A and B are shown apart, each in its own frame.
Chain A
Amino acid sequence: MTVRILIADDHAVIREALRGLISQRPEWQLCGEARNGREAVELAKSLRPDIVVLDLSMPELNGLEATRQIRKLLPKAEILAFTMHETEDLVTQVIAAGARGYLLKSDAMAHLGHAIEALAQHKPFFAPAVSQIMLDAVAGGARTDGSGGIERETLTPREREIIQLLAEGNNNKTISAALGLSVTTVQTHRAAIMRKLDIKSIAELVRYAVRNKIIDA
């Protein structure tokens, strides 16, 4: 049974390494490569892979949003989040978004094979550091008052997408073109974002996005 894998990472050098690792296993097939989150969603839609190895900090649409969208489009596809970051906030959100694998880039060579094997059988796989975060959360009781968690919950996926595009320097017009929306709709979303986050300027929005790892500075 062939396992079809889509990889998404904005770094050519990482894609190169993943390609090499995947090619070593005859039962694994690399079916596509994406360089940003939007491309990952598009390719997932057209290629219907079994597993998507998804970098979390990609331009245009980050991996967290891409995870949400791919899970919605393809409930059977498994997502392996692949990242440098292991902050509690991010781990929680990515798992809540439906990823069943979470691998740190520092563990990639040792564990990528195990992660793909597990996900191919629809079993979860978490890097040791990530398991620890989850254990701590379970042992400490599910905390529902995590700072940042609440304000983020009130944002819609569309709003989060627009936050990323705004923080990357796009204006209302380029955003409306990228998302196929009218400029007025983008303006409405933008106003809702500012109100929900209680921020008044684009500078604050950029800092919110960097702080919450929606973008890198």
Chain B
Amino acid sequence: MISNDRATSLDELDPGAHGTIVRIGCPGPLRRRLLDMGLTPGTEVRLEGVAPLGDPVIVSARGCRLGLRRAEAAGITVVPCPDSLCAGCRRGRRRHGRQSAASRRRLLFRTEVS
């Protein structure tokens, strides 16, 4: 069973980081659409990057890439990958190069609590 205490929303993930979807909180047609596109609970999802103006975000899941508005991604609850040294996360960080000091700190913090 995945523990939910570190759960966050998909748009809060650091660029390049990945996690597992635990809940789709969006209502109505949006929920339907997200599920149809393969964002079902239990699916591994990565926040690939962000559009130049900070919105929408680019996520990948089940081998395909999607653009989602931040507000849409905010309704998706994920548990971030617990292992900051996991191959997928490292690959993601390399791909996206520099990270802000704040996000590095967040990452460090997460490592400590886990």
Binding partners A and B: no
